[in-house]
Chain A
Amino acid sequence: MTAAVTMDLEAGTAPGGGVTGTGALTVENFSFWYGPTQALFDISIDLDPQAVTALIGPSGCGKSTFIRSINRMHDLLPGARGAGRILLDGEDVLDRGLDVVHLRQRVGMVFQRSNPFPKSIYDNVAWGPRLNRRPSRRELDDVVEHALRRAALWDEVKDRLRENATGLSGGQQQRLCIARALANEPEVLLLDEPCSALDPIATQRIEELLWELKKDLTIVIVTHNLQQAARVSDRTAFFYLGRLVEHGPTDQLFTAPREERTEAYITGRFG
């Protein structure tokens, strides 16, 4: 196993942060099955820290299955199983003995549809730290503010933290979900088509946000929007029919793809 990148990280300065690793992900020969159906075939890829990796490909190609494997969201699905290794800072996340609760604190996730709890804005963000770290009241205030600032939502909600989160706009809700994930001080942030239900302005805000966040996070984003992939990502991986066809630096993949299928997809000939 070779570590993807070794670089100095100035992360972990956040209040209450318990950041340990760098968030480097190395996937080795990962395959995945839903019961008898194989959804992913022999995926090997490095997902770099301090970078955004975009996963593209037509619907049903396994992007979401892959991203959800990284924080073991498939665990509760009967008949789902994976093979191979997904190493987070050298530790195999697929290891049965691994503490999944701890893993999911290190690997945050944002979903396609914003899913705030029907609670106050404050409670939504405080939810993770409150149960996982049991901070004092003051610490919690700081953690919530810090997370909301990082998610570029603080200025919009600071006067209405006690109001219900479901009253926020779609874009705000999605940024709240990002803040909620950030409050756990994760090393990796997974985003599964986070902008597919948002208007262009809200989408742009999230994309700008990712540029900021990648300074101290490993970010993996699934997207159907090729322009978005080109805009936000440093590296892009093209999935097709459960296989990782090609991956590399984003500008290279979009301008000079090595594989014919990649070129066909990014030029809109299928998918």
Chain B
Amino acid sequence: MRRGTYRTILSLIMVIAFFFLSVPCVGNATEKTDGGKSVIFLLDASGSMKSNDPDRFVIDDIVQMIYTLPTEYQAGFVAYGAEITAEQGLAGNGGRNNVAAAVKGVEYKGYSNAGIGLQRAVELLLEDAGKDRHIVMFSDGEILMDSQEMTEASGALFQSAVGQAEEAGITIHVLGLGEDMEDMGNSIFDAAHRTVGQSCHAAQAEDIRKAISQVLVEGLAIKRSTVAVVEAGGETETVGVELPYAYADKLRILLTSNAPIQNVSANFQAESARQFNGERHALIEIEDPSGGELEIRFEGIPGSQVEIYVIPEYYVDVRAEVIYTDRVPEEAGDIQGDNIMAEKDAYYQRTACILYTFSRADNENILLWNTDYFQHNKISVTVNEETKELALNEGRLQIEERVTDSCIYEAWFDYSQLPVNVVGTDSARVELEGAPPLPEPQEEPKPPYLLIGASIVLLLILLTIVLLWLRRRPKPVPAPLEERPEPSRYSYVGMLKLYITRTRAGYDIPPLSFNLFRTSAGRVISLQEIIKNCDVKEEFAGAEAIYFKAGPGRTLILTNNSDCTIMKNREILMKKQSYQLPLDSKVDISFEDEISELTFQYKEA
């Protein structure tokens, strides 16, 4: 056989039926090594704050922020007056109570030496190796010291600290309070501008909640969602919510208001939980919630508005799976001609389909984000410095990659577009195997000429036999006519009046009458005979199997052996049954052709 023919057949078979080679492969996920994120809250605790925040709302709000931060954040605190008045180094989730206690212990007094405050904050952050570092600064005015020189010195220190922060990639967010901070271009706000942080201003301490929200959401990129906004009525309010965060590791439920919130309680199913109550906020930290339903009760000051937020956290692990699809290069033959067996083309064309799934860090069997809530949410994936956005489909991300040689395939994930806070693995690495070589060409088997020829001959023989059988088959014998009923010993009386109400031909046949009393006693007569006797040429299918014979007491016996529908007194007369018809009976017959109809009356002659 010619090589060209072989090549064509092989190519065709391979193209039509793709050769699927599915090789599941678990990728070696790489762990993130750095220490996460850190925030230092820097508070201007100078005497002027007494007037700008007489109710210490700012203190309460900083505490709220500390507890609101997701677990991956480390929090610290620095307060300054003329000097550093309070300080608490960075602490993880477990040490936040200490930080909160430091905040609560602050007293507003003395001058405002922001330089030394910021300097200290930057120092604390520089001690941490985390990549994402922030300072959230609360101030109600410019630097003001005892003397001009000191003020200037402090200013210089402040600028130097800002420079340090800028250099170290620390972001400074400034929340200005009161009239003195209305000028968003002052030196304090300049720190935010220079480090590309958030600048917010609140005229009064009561209004600082909005600024805090901005810093949390936009500055610190904390994912939270509002689940309810309730107008407090003075009584216990109950809010029931269905949370979509299946298998979340931690949920923080934050209640904030512009007025005090009291008697906060919550119903939920979880492994453990903690509750932190502030003056105007409450935070419930739920570890490993097992149900989606949550019920919160609280009492608020009448007229106040309570906002309820959820801050979900997931600790994730990434798994990768590779499926290879190999197919014969389609155009190889056409392009290469007889060089099909050239070394270059002796390999399959391989496509690797890499599927990433996300599971809980503590249990790899629990797959995450495969609910409707996460469907089509985007995750940015960076491979070889090329970033593309992929949408979650039933909790999976899929990338297709053409593979020629074996290689390491590493992808980095950016979860910032997900509506939840994600901690944990953000990259995955898999080894891709190179395409396998094409199999050796095999000798094409000869067509089974003998078998084909034999089959054709056999088929012809069979056909002839069938035809002969069909021709010689005995013709179907018509079903034997139903037996006539037994003759009767009675004599006929009366007559039949026949009204052919419908015929197949559509003709109107005048009413007919048949004198029964002239029929010899004992004779069984069919309806067809009666109709024929009346000189009607129309055929009535089934009439030959409807029989009459004389019955006792001047009655007529009707036996129906046909498939006609016979009705009398709203009753259908059964097949192969005999019925006794008294004089004046009226019977309606629909014949087997389902067209012709006849009505007869058995009457006195």
A and B are interacting partners: no
Using a CB–CB distance below 8 Å, which chain B residues touch chain A?
none
Using a CB–CB distance below 8 Å, which chain A residues touch chain B?
none
